Amino acid sequence: MLNSVTHGRRQAHKALIVQLVAVAATALALLAASPAHALAAALGGGALALGGWLSAWVALSGETPAAAGLALGRLVTGLVLKWAVLIAALLLGLAVWKLPPAALVTGVIVALVAQILAMLRR
Q: Residue 99: what pLDDT? A: 98
Mean pLDDT of 16-45: 98
CA distance 70 to 68: 6
CA distance 33 to 74: 41
Read off φ and ψ for residue 3, nearest 5 degrees.
-105, 35
pTM: 0.91
Q: Residue 6: what pLDDT? A: 81
Kindly report the average pLDDT of the chain as a whole number: 92
Q: How far is CA 111 from the centre of its chain?
A: 6
| 54 three-class SS | helix
Q: Residue 71: what pLDDT? A: 82
Query: Which of 46-50, 64-68, 75-79 bottoms out in mean pLDDT, i.e. has the lowest?
Result: 64-68
Closest residue by Cα to residue 86 from 111, 69, 62, 65: 111
Mean pLDDT of 101-108: 98
Read off φ and ψ for residue 63, nearest 5 degrees.
-90, -30
Sorted by where each begins, the domain ranges of the chain are 5-120
CA-CA-CA-CA torsion sign (94, 99, 102, 107)? negative
Mean pLDDT of 44-50: 98
pLDDT band at 77 (very low <50, low <70, confident <90, very high): very high
